[in-house]
């Protein structure tokens, strides 16, 4: 008969002691190798649209922030969303455009109107001429020669009319010249003087010069001389 062994058998358990420093655990080395192989396979996965290995669209630097390429890609979108204040500041204000040149335009129109009055005559010149005629009649009522009556009644009224017209012509000339030379003095303007203002001012200057010449000729009897009385017929 055989005897049964009643002594329990000893089981061998894997050692759990930490390997010495400087050595690598075989289990950990194999796990790292499997992880690196899986990562390499993932990086070689092809993009169906481009049939090329997929890549990270926005690589990050060592600090974990997106690269400059990603920032430059989003910069135009941010700028497009901002209001363009510079264009609004450079756009001219319609009210400023309407007010620009109003004073100069009004002065140019006044200059042209004064030139027309100098050529056609004004009611002030007519009233002044009638006054001189009345004064001449009063002075020659007591008696006087024919030449004296012509000079006092007609000549003085004629010269007074020429003088009044000449005053209007000089005013038209001065106002027109002022409008033309005004941009050269004072604070410089951002916009040039409107063309129509210069044109009307030039017309006023031309009419003023013409009125001065005509008035001077009338006053000094250059165009038409005063009538003279004929010698009395002998009896």
pLDDT at 227: 86
Mean pLDDT, range 155-170, rounded to an integer: 96
pLDDT at 173: 97
Query: Average pLDDT over the chain, rounded to whole?
Result: 73
| More reliable by pLDDT, 195 or 86 | 195
Q: Helix 102-120 vs helix 156-181: angle between axes, to the nearest 10 degrees?
A: 160
Largest Cα separation within the chain, whole Å, is 213
Question: For residues 197 and 80, what is the distance between their CA atoms, to the nearest angstrom?
Answer: 43
| More reliable by pLDDT, 32 or 133 | 133
pLDDT at 75: 47
Query: pLDDT for 52-111, tens place per residue?
Result: 444 454 444 444 444 454 454 454 545 444 555 554 455 655 555 556 678 899 999 999
| More reliable by pLDDT, 1 or 127 | 127
pTM over 0.85: no
pLDDT at 218: 94
CB 65 within 8 A of CB 72: no
Question: For residues 154 and 173, what is the distance between their CA atoms, to the nearest angstrom?
Answer: 29
DSSP structure class, residue 119: H
Which own/partner contact pairs does 188-196 have at CB distance under 8 Å and 24+ positions apart?
Answer: 189/100, 191/100, 193/101, 193/104, 194/100, 194/101, 194/104, 194/105, 196/105
pLDDT at 97: 55
pLDDT at 8: 47
Alpha-carbon torsion 11, 14, 16, 21, what sign?
A: positive
Instruction: Name the band, by pLDDT with cuts 50, 70 and 90, for residue 160.
Output: very high
Query: pLDDT for 105-150, tens place per residue?
Result: 999 999 999 999 999 999 999 999 999 999 999 998 887 788 888 9
Give the burial class of 202: count Cβ atoms within 10 A of its Cβ; 0-12 exposed, 13-18 middle, 19 or more buried: middle
Quote the percentage of the chain above a pLDDT of 90. Answer: 38
Instruction: Name the band, by pLDDT with cuts 50, 70 and 90, for residue 1.
Output: very low
CB 141 within 8 A of CB 181: no
DSSP structure class, residue 154: I
Q: Residue 23 pLDDT more than 70?
A: no
Question: For residues 152 and 163, what is the distance between their CA atoms, to the nearest angstrom?
Answer: 16
pLDDT at 183: 85
DSSP structure class, residue 54: -
Question: For residues 151 and 136, what is the distance between their CA atoms, to the nearest angstrom?
Answer: 8
For 204, other C-beta atoms within 10 Å of its C-beta total 29
From 14-18, 110-114, 202-206, the region with the lowest mean pLDDT: 14-18
Q: Residue 157 pLDDT more than 80?
A: yes
Q: Helix 102-120 vs helix 195-219: angle between axes, to the nearest 10 degrees?
A: 30
Characterize 12-36 residue by residue with b for buried, 16 or more Cβ atoms within 10 angstroms of its Cβ, and e for exposed: eeeeeeeeeeeeeeeeeeeeeeeee
């Amino acid at each position: 008969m055989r005897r049964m062994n009643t002594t329990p058998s000893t089981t061998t358990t894997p050692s759990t002691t930490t390997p010495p420093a400087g050595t690598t655990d075989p289990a950990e080395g194999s796990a790292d190798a499997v992880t690196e192989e899986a990562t390499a396979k993932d990086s070689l996965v092809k993009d169906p649209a481009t049939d090329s290995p997929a890549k990270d669209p926005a690589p990050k630097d060592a600090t974990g922030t997106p690269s400059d390429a990603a920032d430059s890609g989003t910069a135009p979108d941010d700028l497009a969303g901002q209001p363009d204040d510079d264009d609004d500041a450079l756009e001219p204000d319609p009210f400023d455009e309407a007010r620009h040149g109003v004073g100069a335009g009004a002065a140019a129109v006044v200059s042209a109107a004064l030139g027309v009055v100098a050529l056609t005559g004004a009611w002030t010149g007519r009233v002044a001429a009638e006054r001189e005629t009345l004064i001449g009649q009063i002075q020659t009522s007591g008696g006087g020669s024919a030449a004296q009556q012509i000079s006092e009644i007609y000549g003085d009224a004629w010269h007074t009319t020429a003088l009044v017209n000449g005053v209007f012509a000089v005013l038209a000339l001065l106002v027109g010249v002022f409008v033309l030379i005004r941009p050269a003095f004072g604070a410089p303007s951002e916009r040039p003087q409107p063309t129509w203002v210069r044109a009307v001012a030039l017309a006023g200057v031309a009419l003023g010069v013409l009125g001065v010449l005509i008035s001077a000729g009338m006053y000094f009897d250059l165009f038409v001389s005063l009538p003279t009385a004929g010698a009395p017929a002998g009896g």
